[in-house]
Amino acid sequence: MTQELGSRERSLVVLGACMASLLLLFLRSIQLQVLEYESYGGLSRQNRLRRIDLAAPRGLVITSDSIIIAESRPGFNLVLVATADWGGAVRRVASLLDADSAALQAAVAGQRRQFPRDPVVLFRDLPPAMLARIEEHLDQLPGLRIETNALRKANYGPLGSHLLGYTSRIGTVEYAKLKDRGYRLGDDIGKGSLERQFESVLRGSDGYEFYEVDARGRDRGVPEALDPVQPLPGATLRLSIDWRLQLAAESLFSDGRKGAAVALEPSTGRILALVSRPNFDPNLFAAGIRSEDWNRLAADPDFPLWDRAIRSQYPPGSTFKVITAAAALEEMLTAPEDRLRQGCPGGIRIGNRYFKCWKKGGHGSLDMHQAIVQSCDVYFYQLGLQLTVEKLALWSRRLGLGAATGIDLPQEAAGLVPDRDWYELRTGPGSWRGGVAANMAIGQGELLTTPLQLASLYGAIGNDGIRWRPHLLIAVENETGETLRKELRINDRLPLSPGTISVLKRALTGVVNEPGGTGAAARHADVEVAGKTGTAQNPHGDDHSWFACFAPADSPRIAVAVLVENAGHGSAVAAPIAGVIVRSYLARRASVPGPSAPQASGQ
Ligand SMILES: [Zn+2]
């Protein structure tokens, strides 16, 4: 026997070895697929691995005085995970909890038609007694699971509801649009105000774990080898809101008044308080709002869900006179010391209409300072006629009306500044002439503003023309207190000369502090408050009451706008409310040094 094989023989040996291995593999696969089919297949049918999401707690909302106004609390949901043969379990749980079985089954069937594989939340936020009853019977409820969820909790209920907003459940219609962004059916999503504006940072990110179920959908627990991925809580919002001031301002509306109050820091644009009444309890929405609660809120003629501070638009009434005065000075139509040709006998004829002053007996002859202090309408009718609608519209826009302030809240209204074209289009050629300008000059007619716009404008006048964009956000922070996003401070300058601003500031100080001034109700014992009353005619009912102010007049630390619907004169209702807000804020801040010089600027 020779020791050496030819190349041909070597090839045959290799081929033979390969064939043998292939044969072995083939036999093994036969064994797996055919011989052991029963046991392997049975196992994969019996035990299924399911992924379950672990809800991330929503981020905290904290005020500048370190009050947590919104947080997360745990809630327990009963969830249907079985995709087939669920009817019996749903019937059983309905009888266990005294629920309407037919309605429950219809709801499941409804969701399953659209999203056949998604879990169905049968009950959200189960009360402890119901939870205990279900847990006791869980082994008789195949396909049902109790899941822990994170629910929003507004710690002060309806107080501050319009700055906070609410969260609500994602229903089937919304889910179709949101599922690509990582939302699940039944998740919470921010629906209004800060909850909506900062949804992306508040929501956090869900974790997940796996669990096994058997063929009947019964929970077999979490397999040891698969570690859960823990949820990442939402970030914390730190706000400029001064919660004690917010509560003080809220309490001034507690007698059923409707309206809004906005307080801000003129040297930064930070919002200190934002009140809109009537309000609502965001907690009603946390676990899915009950239909009777929703119907009540939606049908309420006072629109409690509507944020009057930034979304309602009202005629500014006489608070607008600062704009008319500024426009007349900047256009050099008059000087502050000028007395107009006609004094105020209590009214003035324009065309074929008689325009009344609010003071029947008239004010006599006035200069601009006294005309603002005493809020003489006749003086301003005459300025309006000289300015025309065009110039009044131009200066309204230059001073910030007709445009959103850019506050970090959704759905801010822009107000309305009607100009020549606006009237030509809506009320006919030439309709903007004469009386329309006179009316506009005293803030009546079609021109509309929001309480936020007036707070911002008055703050900017008090701040010598530097206007800071209103905002609530001081910082977004993660769990360890690290800042993820900083306050955005942006300013611009009102296009007014220092001389014009000084005339306005002195006159507004006179409104509150001089004899005959209409804003005496906002007076402060130690500090000069500067402001202006307004009484806005309203085609739908009684006049609205306005007051806009800043204090201390020479270097303001707070600016406030108050609007009370259908309450009559600004001097009688809105001014005293604004006065309490100013006093409450300055009293507490008396020992604190004044606001530091702004650090950043833009635009
Ligand atoms: Zn008058």
Judgement on whether residues 408 and 368 belong to the same structural domain of the protein: yes
Q: Which tops the pLDDT comparison, 369 or 429? A: 369
Report CA(511)–ligand 1 centroid distance (Å): 14
Report CA(96)–ligand 1 centroid distance (Å): 74
Report CA(379)–ligand 1 centroid distance (Å): 7
Q: Which residue has the tokens 């429950």?
A: 104
pLDDT given at position 138: 87
> Could you tell me the maximum CA-CA distance found in the chain, to the nearest angstrom?
141
Report CA(341)–ligand 1 centroid distance (Å): 14
Q: How far is the C-alpha of 275 from the C-alpha of 505, rounded, in Å?
A: 26
Judgement on whether residues 147 and 254 belong to the same structural domain of the protein: no
pLDDT given at position 39: 44
Kindly state the average pLDDT of the residues 339-347.
Answer: 92
Report CA(397)–ligand 1 centroid distance (Å): 27
Judgement on whether residues 432 and 505 belong to the same structural domain of the protein: yes
Report CA(259)–ligand 1 centroid distance (Å): 28
Q: Which residue has the tokens 């008396």?
A: 590
CATH number of 87's domain: 3.90.1310.10
Least confident of 8-12, 143-147, 229-233, 508-512: 8-12
Classify residue 318 by its DSSP letter. G
Q: How far is the C-alpha of 513 from the C-alpha of 531, rounded, in Å?
A: 10
The domain total for the chain is 2
Judgement on whether residues 421 and 317 belong to the same structural domain of the protein: yes
Report CA(558)–ligand 1 centroid distance (Å): 30
pLDDT digits (tens, 9 = 90+) for 176-235: 888 888 888 878 899 999 999 999 999 999 898 887 776 665 667 777 767 889 999 999
Q: Is residue 600 part of a domain?
A: no
The pLDDT of residue 90 is above 80: yes
Q: Which tops the pLDDT comparison, 40 or 98? A: 98
The answer to whether 376 touches 399, Cβ cutoff 8 Å, is: no
Q: Is residue 167 part of a domain?
A: yes
Judgement on whether residues 392 and 523 belong to the same structural domain of the protein: yes
pLDDT given at position 41: 44
Q: How far is the C-alpha of 127 from the C-alpha of 420, rounded, in Å?
A: 61
Helices (H), 474-563: 498-513
Report CA(439)–ligand 1 centroid distance (Å): 14
Kindly state the average pLDDT of the residues 385-397.
Answer: 97
Judgement on whether residues 337 and 223 belong to the same structural domain of the protein: no
Q: Which two tokens stand for residue 600?
A: 């950043």
Kindly state the average pLDDT of the residues 583-591.
Answer: 85
Query: Mean pLDDT score of the chain, rounded to an integer?
Result: 88
pLDDT given at position 3: 46
The pLDDT of residue 107 is above 50: yes
Report CA(378)–ligand 1 centroid distance (Å): 5
Strands 236-239, 61-62: pairing kind: parallel
Report CA(362)–ligand 1 centroid distance (Å): 5
Report CA(348)–ligand 1 centroid distance (Å): 10
Report CA(356)–ligand 1 centroid distance (Å): 8
Judgement on whether residues 248 and 374 belong to the same structural domain of the protein: yes
Q: Is residue 214 part of a domain?
A: yes
Q: Which tops the pLDDT comparison, 48 or 365? A: 365
pLDDT digits (tens, 9 = 90+) for 132-178: 999 999 888 888 889 888 899 999 999 999 999 999 988 888 888 88
Report CA(380)–ligand 1 centroid distance (Å): 9
pLDDT digits (tens, 9 = 90+) for 350-373: 999 999 999 999 999 999 999 999
CATH number of 401's domain: 3.40.710.10
Report CA(360)–ligand 1 centroid distance (Å): 8
Report CA(4)–ligand 1 centroid distance (Å): 128
Q: Is residue 262 part of a domain?
A: yes
pLDDT digits (tens, 9 = 90+) for 284-310: 998 888 899 999 999 999 999 999 999
Report CA(347)–ligand 1 centroid distance (Å): 7
pLDDT given at position 603: 38
SS3 content of the chain, % helix, strand, coil (to 5): 35, 20, 40
Q: Which two tokens stand for residue 458?
A: 């008055």
SS3 461: helix
Report CA(329)–ligand 1 centroid distance (Å): 20
Q: How far is the C-alpha of 136 from the C-alpha of 141, rounded, in Å?
A: 10
What are all long-range contacts of 226-231, with beta carbons under 8 Å and residues at least 24 apart?
Answer: 228/54, 229/54, 230/54, 231/54, 231/55, 231/56, 231/57, 231/204, 231/205, 231/206, 231/207
Q: Which of 212, 225, 282 has the alpha carbon at shortest distance from 58?
A: 282
Report CA(544)–ligand 1 centroid distance (Å): 20
Judgement on whether residues 198 and 321 belong to the same structural domain of the protein: no
Report CA(346)–ligand 1 centroid distance (Å): 6
Angle ∠(252,372,343) on CA atoms, nearest 5 = 140
Report CA(349)–ligand 1 centroid distance (Å): 13
Report CA(517)–ligand 1 centroid distance (Å): 13
Report CA(513)–ligand 1 centroid distance (Å): 19
Judgement on whether residues 172 and 262 belong to the same structural domain of the protein: no
Report CA(9)–ligand 1 centroid distance (Å): 123
pLDDT digits (tens, 9 = 90+) for 60-83: 999 999 999 999 999 999 998 877
Judgement on whether residues 266 and 201 belong to the same structural domain of the protein: no
Q: Is residue 290 part of a domain?
A: no
CA atoms within 13 A on the CB side of 31: 6
| Global confidence as pTM | 0.86
DSSP collapsed to 3 states, 34-74: HHCHHHHHHHHHHCEEEEEEECCCCCCEECCCCCEEEEEEE
Q: Is residue 327 part of a domain?
A: yes
Q: Is residue 120 part of a domain?
A: yes
pLDDT given at position 211: 77
Report CA(344)–ligand 1 centroid distance (Å): 5
Report CA(313)–ligand 1 centroid distance (Å): 27
Report CA(407)–ligand 1 centroid distance (Å): 36
Report CA(297)–ligand 1 centroid distance (Å): 43
Q: How far is the C-alpha of 438 from the C-alpha of 20, rounded, in Å?
A: 106
Q: Which two tokens stand for residue 216?
A: 């009947």
pLDDT given at position 597: 41
Domain boundary among 185, 205, 239: 239
Report CA(355)–ligand 1 centroid distance (Å): 11
Burial class (CB in 10 A: 0-12, 13-18, 19+), 96: middle
Q: How far is the C-alpha of 147 from the C-alpha of 120, rounded, in Å?
A: 11
The fraction of the chain above a pLDDT of 90, given in percent, is 66
Domain boundary among 214, 239, 264: 239
Judgement on whether residues 266 and 248 belong to the same structural domain of the protein: yes
Classify residue 285 by its DSSP letter. G
Judgement on whether residues 155 and 274 belong to the same structural domain of the protein: no
Q: Is residue 306 part of a domain?
A: no
pLDDT digits (tens, 9 = 90+) for 16-31: 555 555 555 544 544 4
Name the residue range of residue 436's domain.
243-284+313-589
Report CA(442)–ligand 1 centroid distance (Å): 11
Domain boundary among 186, 211, 239: 239
pLDDT given at position 588: 84
Classify residue 231 by its DSSP letter. P
pLDDT digits (tens, 9 = 90+) for 536-583: 998 888 999 999 999 999 999 999 999 999 988 888 899 999 999 999
Q: How far is the C-alpha of 580 from the C-alpha of 226, rounded, in Å?
A: 60
